[in-house]
Amino acid sequence: MFKYSAKLACVVALVLSGCGGAPEQQPSETQTLESTEQGLIWACDGTRSFNRYWKVNGVEVGREYCDCDGTLSEFGQLTGRYSQTQNFYCN
């Protein structure tokens, strides 16, 4: 019984290797995550004051400041990955 199983396994391996087996997987391209694919991006709607920092390859390229009156100040390029820090909730 064992010999039969071993022979069958060898035949299956030969057939798969001769036929190419499973199709070769191409390496997937790396994808840059945009801000919409990260966590929640806070809206500057007057509920909180916050700062948002934008980075590309670990280098800061832009900033956003949100005030309690809903004013959003933008500096630099708003692209790449971001982090947000809340300053305080607005009254």
pLDDT tens digits, 46-88: 999 999 999 999 999 999 999 999 999 999 999 999 999 999 9
SS3 54: strand
Smallest CA-to-CA distance from 81 within 37, 51, 50 is with 37
d(CA 79, CA 24): 35
CA distance 38 to 36: 6
pTM above 0.75, yes or no: no
Q: What is the DSSP letter of 37?
A: G
Task: Find out whether 68 and 46 touch, Cβ atoms under 8 Å.
Answer: yes
